[in-house]
Structures are given as structure tokens and as C-alpha cells.
Amino acid sequence: MIQFADLYKAFDGKPVLAGVTLDVQDGETMVIIGYSGTGKSVALKHVVGLLQPDAGDVIVDGRPVAALDRAGLYGLRREIGFVFQFAALFDSMSVADNVALGLRRRGLSEDEIEERIREALALVDLTGTEQRMPAELSGGMRKRVGIARAIALRPRYLLYDEPTTGLDPVTSAVMDQLMVRTREHLGVTGIVVTHDMRSAYTVGDRIAMLYEGRIRQVGAVAEIQQTGDPVVRQFIEGRPA
Ligand SMILES: Nc1ncnc2c1ncn2[C@@H]1O[C@H](COP(=O)(O)OP(=O)(O)OP(=O)(O)O)[C@@H](O)[C@H]1O
Ligand SMILES: [Mg+2]
């Protein structure tokens, strides 16, 4: 279970997170929605200790992340796959080497690594692209390589930061299916940050809206779709203020 517990974070005196509290249950996919610049990426980064909170913490299976030492953080990151907002591939490395990145660091045998690469690429429908270079891939394919890299590590948790942003509607739908499939095949608990409502409804069990530094509303997809909160309603309907 991942618990955001009264999380506060400001940059240069400007508050971004101001008491975020949210529980993500084992096995569920929680979607976090919210306007650009509200701190969705900042919240995710606290889960893996890439940012230090000003107050409060994220608690992963009972472990307060900010309090972990190097070894604790290393152990935590072995359990959590992070699919970054901008695919973050190494352009000078082949697809296979990009996927293998975390695996090599873990000292797995080359045979095992090859097997994991094959399996992860198959899961994202990129079988046969092992030797291609990132520059030869479309944006959607690059995002899928990012997912393959995360799932090759067989994490308990997967964090996706805007997996469908910038993709055409059909490619977005393919990404949604991949996230659903990944969860079904690997049983991972997920957090998906997005402002793509179609994607939120497809992949989410629950949806939480981050607004002005806090969780404005959290609920099952159907509950959010029927929300009476004008702020949430305006966002999900995509109406200008
Ligand atoms: N490392 C940092 N240093 C200073 N300010 C930062 C840092 N990271 C984020 N911010 C600021 O925090 C705010 C929230 O940023 P964040 O990237 O979390 O937004 P977001 O909700 O993910 O937006 P988007 O939907 O556009 O990705 C922004 O004002 C941003 O400029
Ligand atoms: Mg972001």
C-alpha cells in the first residue's frame, strides 16, 4: 500500500503540495488528475524519494520514504517501476539495452536478461525492435519502451507519469490497454498521472483530483463521473473557467 500522508512541498516559498493525503490500496490502479502545474509529477517523485517533503511523507508498505537511508531507498526502488513523463530513453543505446538498464545493475545472468527483455517487449507489442535505436521510433513506441523498461524489473508498483500525453487517440487507447494488461498479467499496484479523462476512465479503479495542493475528491470512476463538485466537474468535462 502507498499512503500519501499529509504531504507538503514548496519551491522557492511557493507551495505546491499543501497536505496531500491519499491511500492507494494493493492491486488497484489510482489515477491522479489535475491541471498542468498542480504538482502531480512532484507528488509522484516523493514516492520514490526523488524529492524530499517539507512535511508529511509517503509511506510504502509501512516504510516512510523520506526517512529511508541509502540501502532502504535502493530496496524501495527495486519494488517500484517509474515510467517518466518524457520517455527518458538513452539515445545512444538500442531498445534492448535501454530495457536492460536496470537489469544489468541487478547482476542477473545474460540469459535471464535476454528473456526478460523479450517478455517485456512482447507485453508492450514491440517484439523484434531490440536492435532499433530510440531515434528510429515514434513517440508512442518510445513511451512503450519506457514501460517495458519498468516492467522488466517485475515491480510490485508502477508509477506512470502522463503515459498518453502527446499521443493520438488510437495510440493512447493502445497505451491504456497496455496498462490494463500489465496490471492483469503482473498484478501490480499502479498510480497513473494524467489529464486525459478517457484514459483515466479506462485504466482507473479510483480517481483522485489534485487541486490547489490537496486532494479535492477521490472516488470510484463512476462516482467521479457523477460528481457534484463544480471544480471536479469542470475539469472532467474540459470546460474553460
Ligand atoms: N525541482 C523543482 N524545482 C522548482 N520548482 C519545481 C520543481 N519541480 C516542480 N516544480 C514546480 O512545481 C509545480 C508543479 O510541477 P509539476 O511538474 O508537479 O506539475 P504537474 O501537475 O505534473 O504538471 P503537468 O501536468 O504540466 O506535468 C510547478 O510550478 C513547477 O514549476
Ligand atoms: Mg507532470
Ligand 1 atom 10 nearest Cα: 11
Per-residue confidence (pLDDT) for residue 87, from 0 to 100: 67
Give the pLDDT band (50/70/90) at residue 217.
very high
Cell numbers that stand for 233 in this block: 466537474
With a Cβ cut-off of 6 Å, ligand 1 is lined by 11, 16, 34, 36-42, 85, 195
**Ligand showing the shortest atom-to-Cα distance for residue 235:** 1
Pocket test for ligand 1, best of 8, 16, 86 (most atoms within 8 A of CB): 16
**Rounded mean pLDDT, 11-34:** 97
Nearest 5°: phi and psi at 92?
Answer: -90, 0
- Residue-wise pLDDT for 110-132, tens only, equals 999 999 999 999 988 899 999 99
β-pair partners for 207? 31, 219
Ligand 1 atom 7 nearest Cα: 11
Percent of the chain past pLDDT 70, that is, above it, reads 99
Dihedral sign from CA coordinates of 165, 166, 172, 174: negative
Residue type, position 120, single letter: A
Are 203 and 6 a contacting pair, CB within 8 Å?
A: no
* pLDDT beyond 80 at 241: no
Q: 167 versus 145: which is more confidently predicted?
A: 145
Per-residue confidence (pLDDT) for residue 169, from 0 to 100: 86
Ligand 2 centre to CA of 143 (Å) is 15
Query: No. of H helices and E strands in the chain?
Result: 9, 10
* pLDDT beyond 90 at 21: yes
What percent of the chain is helix, strand and coil (3-state, nearest 5)? 40, 25, 35
Per-residue confidence (pLDDT) for residue 136, from 0 to 100: 93
* Separation CA 146–CA 167 (nearest Å): 14
Ligand 2 centre to CA of 37 (Å) is 7
Write down all domains in the chain, each with its CATH number in brackets. Answer: 2-237 (3.40.50.300)
Per-residue confidence (pLDDT) for residue 140, from 0 to 100: 85
Residue with cell 536492460: 100
Residue type, position 39, single letter: G
Pocket test for ligand 1, best of 8, 20, 32, 42 (most atoms within 8 A of CB): 42
**Rounded mean pLDDT, 187-203:** 93
Per-residue confidence (pLDDT) for residue 232, from 0 to 100: 96
The average confidence (pLDDT) of the chain is 93
Pocket test for ligand 1, best of 33, 40, 211 (most atoms within 8 A of CB): 40
Ligand 2 centre to CA of 40 (Å) is 5
- Residue-wise pLDDT for 42-89, tens only, equals 999 999 999 999 999 999 999 999 999 999 999 999 899 988 877 688
Ligand 1 centre to CA of 49 (Å) is 16
